[in-house]
Structures are given as C-alpha cells and as structure tokens.
Structure 1
Amino acid sequence: MSGSVDTSFRLPKAILFDLDGTLIDSAPDIASAVNELLDGRGLPPLTLAQVKSMIGNGIEKLVERAFAASGRPLSRTGLDEANREMAPIYRRHLTHWTRPMPGAVEALARLHVAGIRLGVATNKPQVATREILLHFGLLERLGAIVGGDAVTRKKPAPEALLLALEQLGTEPHEALMVGDSITDVEAARAAGLPVAIIRGGYTQIPADELGADLVCDSLLDLPAALNGVRNAA
C-alpha cells in the first residue's frame, strides 16, 4: 500500500509543497556548498549524511549547525560573517548535483491537470527556489512560490504557508501541505492545514512517527492516495 490515509482527510483544492527533500534532492549540492565554506576556514569536510541532518530550517541554521559539528561553534558575530560568506557559495551550488525527487515531475503534472492549485512554501531563499524550479521545468505548474526570505518567520512558523495560500486564493481548510519533516508538520498544524509526508526525505524522525494525516512512499503515489481519499469520502 503506497499510503496510509486518515478517512476524515478531505481532497484539497490546493497543495503546498516543501522543496528540499520533498520536490528535489538537493543535499549533494548543499553539502558541496557547506564543505566549500568549511574548507575556506581550514576545517575538514562533513559527510553527506551529516549535512542532510542539518537541512530544513534555513541557510543560517545550516551554517550554525555545520560549524558546531566541526567543533568550531560560532558567536553571533562570527555566524553573521559566515552567513555573508556562504551566500555566494550557496548560489553556485543549486543545480549541479541536485535532482528532482522520485515522482516529483509526474506528480505535479497530474495534479495540475486535475485542476488542483499548486504552490511551494520553503525555507530556501526565494531567488534560489525559483532558479531551481525553472531549471527542472517545474515553475510553470506553480501558482505560488514563497521562500524563507519572503516572510518574517521561517517554517515551522505558518507565515510562508499562509502567504502561499493567499496567492493561490485558497483557505487553509481547503488545502494540503506536503513535506518530508517535522518542520513541515508543525508549520501545517500552525497554519491549520492537513499535512502529508513523503518518505525518503531529510527527516531524522521516521515518516510514520511525524503525526501526518497521510504518508506516501513517493510523490508518484500522492495523486493515487488523494483519489483514495476522494473515493472514501
């Protein structure tokens, strides 16, 4: 069975997607950027698994965690300086090793054809998000794109989700958040949305233990799982 469904769950008019670990596998590029930053400070590289565990709360938190894992935790001033250093490095590592997650392209196409409004709510910066989505041909399917720097507070705060829904002209109770981590679950709950989790993302907590309304093995299973919800309703 591709997904487990809460039978009280309703078919959405709009779906918001997280980006990293949900629509795209960006960890290799992010690891390359992190290790370039660390190398410039004379620090050894982190493993891909280490960097994966740090993704999800924005670049600033990523940089903070990377230096802490390297045994060189930074002061507030040092962290500000490292983030300024990271910005151009990060922009050079957006699409070289990054790939769409399994089923992402097909799922967005099917949901778009079905008339469901689609958007992205991510902690990744807005410009970087648009560049990645354009590179992989996903931009045209999306009616709203909200990056972490487009709101005052990043996920797990609800602002990005609420702004994306406003752009899509959809109320929270008519929508669904699709992500891969506890950050997405908490953001969805704070915004009043049901939430689906896709296995295989960047969560350190097993997908079935995140408290989502729906869990799917991949994005390719999402349209069928939602049709199951429609048939159960």
Structure 2
Amino acid sequence: MTSVRTVVFDLDGTLVDTAPDLINALNFVLAREGLPPVPLASARTMIGAGARRMLERGLELDGRTVGLADIDRLTKDFIDHYAAHIAELSRPFDGLEDALDDLRSRGYQFAVCTNKLEWLSKLLLDQLGLSSRFAAICGADTFGVSKPDPVILRQTLARAGGELSSAIMVGDAGPDIGVARRAGIPVIGVEFGYTEVPIADLKPDRLIAHMRDLPGAVESLMHHRNPA
C-alpha cells in the first residue's frame, strides 16, 4: 500500500512571518532589564533555536550574561508576554494558503516540525486559522528533542501517519536542512525566512523565493523520489 505523501514544514520563517511578535516580546523583556531594544532587522537571525536561545542572544548583543536562575525567569517572562500577543503582527507568508490548497488537491497532507514549544505553535496556528490544515503539529518539547535531531522529524511523521519514504521537509535555516539530511529525506529551502547562514549556502535540494513556487518544487522532488 502506498503511504500518504507528506510535506513537513518548519514554522517560524517558513509558514508564518513571526518575527515582529517575537522581537516585541524580546524587547519587552530587555526593557524591563534596562537594556536597549533589538532592531527587527538585526533580530531575524536570532529566531529558530527556541525562546531561551533567542533571549540569550538578545542579552549577548549588549554584552550581558546572566545566571541560570535569571535566564529561567526571563525566559518565562518572554514566553508569557509572547503568548499574550502571539498573533498581533504575525501573518502567514504570501501565497501560503493557495500553495497548501494546490498541494492538498494533489493528495498531499501536511505536518509542522518546529523548535518552538508545541503549545505555542498550536496557539499561533489556531489564532491564524491554520491548525486544521496539519495532521500533526510537533515542537521541541513534544518528544524531548529539537531539530536537527532526526528523532523529532521521524516522530512527527509517525504522528501524522506518514513515512520517511514519501515525505519532504520545507524550512528556512540550518536546523531544517540538517534534520532532513539526517533523516534521509529531501528538503526545500525558502529564501524569505530567518537564518544566520544564507539558505542557498546550505544547499537544499530545491530553493524557492515565494510560496507560489512550492507546489512545483514539491512535485518535482516527489517525482524524483518515486517516479511513476
């Protein structure tokens, strides 16, 4: 029996432009610590490794280091503020819903594999009206591992009812490329996300500049994997 074809997406910088709300939460915490705000343009490369690491990077920009207890407290403050304002400015990338509709009509299902906490991921997608599109939404706390550990991708696929042999990853940064490579599946890189290293330098199997290009890239890779 042929398994269902699954496209697994990263969340921040791939499905949704979350940077404005994340940076607002970061700057809220920094202001309470008497530190200057981080400009949006500078902060985009901080996104993708989780709330704690994003906060640590924000503090490092000002040459500030804090102890474990303080970073725990500040991370909680960050998450609390972010959750309360999670979809004020965040929006799906242009063309996303049309691309999902196109792929759905071709028989694909979708899953989310992110280093964001699962409950925050679901909250965001709920508020944007997107949750029902995904067979599984899994985060860094779902299985106790984060990308690029391949366990998170394998388990996300299992939860969605998919298989590695008929799956493709879509992401914007190193952890996404890495998890796909380590799990042995093709990966599409998006040029509009958040990454410290240019996505082209990470050599994804396909590279897209707009969501309108996603269905063609997915079909090309899937045909290469499973030629008729």
2:20 to 24, 28, 38: 28
Contact 2:122 2:137 in 1 (8 A): yes
1:177 maps to 169
2:185 maps to 193
The 2-side partners of 1:105 and 1:64 are apart by 34
* 4+ runs deviating over 6 angstroms: none
Gaps of 5+ in 1: 1-11
TM-score (norm 2): 0.91
TM-score (norm 1): 0.89
Where 1:149 maps in the other structure, the secondary structure is coil
1:113 maps to 105
The 1-side partners of 2:193 and 2:76 are apart by 28
The C-alpha deviation readout for 1:71-121, integer Å capped at 9, x for no partner, is 212222321221122221121231001111122111112112221121000
Query: CA separation of 1:156/1:227 partners in 2, compared to 1, >3 Å: closer, same or farther?
Result: closer
1:207 maps to 199
Identity %: 36
Query: CA separation of 1:214/1:130 partners in 2, compared to 1, >3 Å: closer, same or farther?
Result: same
Q: Which residue identity is paired with 1:156?
A: P
The 1-side partners of 2:83 and 2:62 are apart by 22
2:159 maps to 167
Worse-matched range after superposition: 21-30 or 197-206: 197-206
In the alignment, is residue 155 of structure 1 matched against residue 147 of structure 2?
yes
Aligned residue-pair number:
222
1:15 to 4, 7, 30: 7
Worse-matched range after superposition: 180-189 or 166-175: 166-175
Where 1:184 maps in the other structure, the secondary structure is helix
Contact 1:197 1:212 in 2 (8 A): yes
Query: CA separation of 1:16/1:43 partners in 2, compared to 1, >3 Å: closer, same or farther?
Result: same
1:146 maps to 138
Gaps of 5+ in 2: none
